[in-house]
Amino acid sequence: MSSKLSLVRPFGPYIGKFKFPEPFIKDVNSFIDNSENDPEVLKSLDWSQNLVGKVHQELRVPNYVLLKHEEFLQSQASQYLKSITDMGVVNLDTRVLSVKRGPAWVVRSNPGDFNPAHVHSDATICMAGFLKTPDWDDELLEDSDDHAPSRGKLCFMHGNTEEWGNNLMLIEPKVGDCYIFPATLTHFVYPFKSSGERRSFSVNFQRL
SS3 of 9, please?
Answer: coil
CA 77/CA 99 separation, integer angstroms: 8
Does residue 90 have a pLDDT over 70?
A: no
pLDDT, residue 93, reads 65
Q: Where does residue 7 rank: exposed (0-12), middle (13-18), buried (19+ CB within 10 A)?
A: middle
pLDDT, residue 166, reads 85
Q: Considering all CA atoms of the chain, what is the largest pairwise distance in Å, rounded to the nearest integer?
A: 53
SS3 of 188, please?
Answer: strand
Does residue 148 have a pLDDT over 80?
A: no
Angle (nearest 5°) at CA 45 between 42 and 174:
90
Cα Rg for the chain, rounded, in angstroms?
17
> In the chain, pLDDT over 90 holds for what percent of residues?
74
Nearest Cα residue to 156 out of 131, 181, 134: 181
Where are the domains positioned within the chain? 6-207
- Predicted TM-score (pTM) of the model is 0.93
Question: What is the average per-residue pLDDT within 159-167?
Answer: 82
> In the chain, pLDDT over 70 holds for what percent of residues?
94
Query: Regarding predicted confidence, which is higher, 90 or 138?
Result: 138
Share the mean pLDDT of the chain: 91
Cβ pair 18, 76 in contact under 8 A: yes
Angle (nearest 5°) at CA 82 between 167 and 125:
50
Give 6-207's CATH code, choosing from 2.60.120.620, 2.120.10.80, 2.30.30.100, 3.20.20.80.
Answer: 2.60.120.620
Identify any residues that bridge with 130 across adjacent strands, giving them in sequence order. Answer: 200
Question: What is the average per-residue pLDDT within 10-23?
Answer: 95
Confidence class for position 58, pLDDT limits 50, 70, 90: very high
Q: Residue 117: how many CB atoms within 10 A of its CB?
A: 11
pLDDT, residue 85, reads 83
Q: What's 83-151 look like in SS3? A: HHHHCCCCCCCHHHHCEEEEEEEEEEECCCCEEEEECCCCCCEEEEEEEECCCCHHHHHHHHCCCCCCC
- Report which residue type is found at 181: F
- Give pLDDT tens digits for 172-205: 999 999 999 999 999 999 999 999 999 999 999 9
Query: Regarding predicted confidence, which is higher, 177 or 1?
Result: 177
Cα 76 from chain centroid (whole Å): 13
pLDDT, residue 69, reads 97
SS3 of 196, please?
Answer: coil
Cβ pair 76, 3 in contact under 8 A: yes
